[in-house]
Structure 1
């Protein structure tokens, strides 16, 4: 093959590669913004989260206060930025709890025998009979409200969904051709799990974690809005929604902007998770 043909082939292959979609790029930029808000909130927040100014109470959005102020004159934009770390910590921790329990149950069912597979499947069906948020409320009723309890409750309520997906994924990998070939070659079950099954299951599990963070943030914010999670005046998005609902008709910005951050964060993490899924061909 001539040098010109080689260059033409490389050019065609480069042109055939899918360019990042605008939505994916915007989602990535927003996640970077969230990372800055977590690591260095003072860089982009002009005020402290608890800096009160009674004379500036209920100021609408303006050049001085981009998201307006609340009943104590605190800057809503600054509180949203400072609350990013708390809200994301709750979402990530709840996702880690749910994913860990789901991985445990899914591994028992997906890698065990038929009896364990059947038992885990029935347990998941029983847990799925309860809506996730209702299960979280049940946990809070038993152990009391608070951000820690809300985080654990959200994690427990998301575990059945993760378990079902992971169980099906491991079951599919276990019956694949390359695993059967490893068995024929005489590899031990532990080696097959360690060298073939687990590496192929890590990618979809990472995708699940990305998709689950947004859902966990929404559920935790819903619990805070109901007064069962973080409590005002904590700069947490759900707690800010709860504090602003009293003034929804006179100071709409107190609820709109924290709610907008929840929505945008959920959309951004979901878009990135789906982008990862599409690049690896989807979760089996």
Structure 2
């Protein structure tokens, strides 16, 4: 989990989510009939709010902005009285939690949860005492569980489809300038290893090129995405990226959804 969230592409996904324009997002979200269909996330957010766990421990402020979850939490409470629907997603159905009032609050919650998850894993890896390890493990569990709830319910699918349809998503690319922007934004612990990642060139061949980095080249020992053979996080990104850039509509909705679900596949297994 730590390697995945700290991978350059993960930090790029998070960065591009962070720069989504609030006005454009709210304008793109259409009204929907209230349905009681994302009750798992609803119950989890209410429970976390009661325990004061939606506050960022570093700043002691509500996630995102001081009022970032007000409308979303109200929608969670209102959902208790909505008509009951199936727990898991039906094709085309919109979440009862997702509307113009809640869309940007949910977006901020998604970004901040990803950041907290990554920083908690950094803390776990760097723990110098049992007490530090225990505290970090608790935060990994809290943020990871919330991210897992988000990743497998309607609201995330609804949200990413809106972002994709309105061209508010970008696929991460690897250049020194992009990497510095990604790493600076997330503040995750940086690896000492040189980052070796493909450039995506869908204008040319519909997929990732075969370039290695300037030190290693693209020869023996490098896989077809231009990375050292056996580096699983690189290969995972290649699969996601290649499907997106070779699809008819440059399908970033699926790319972002698969990437988020990949971060919490260990939670899904548990």
Q: Same fold (TM over 0.5)?
A: no
Larger Rg: 1
**Structure with greater proportional helix content:** 1
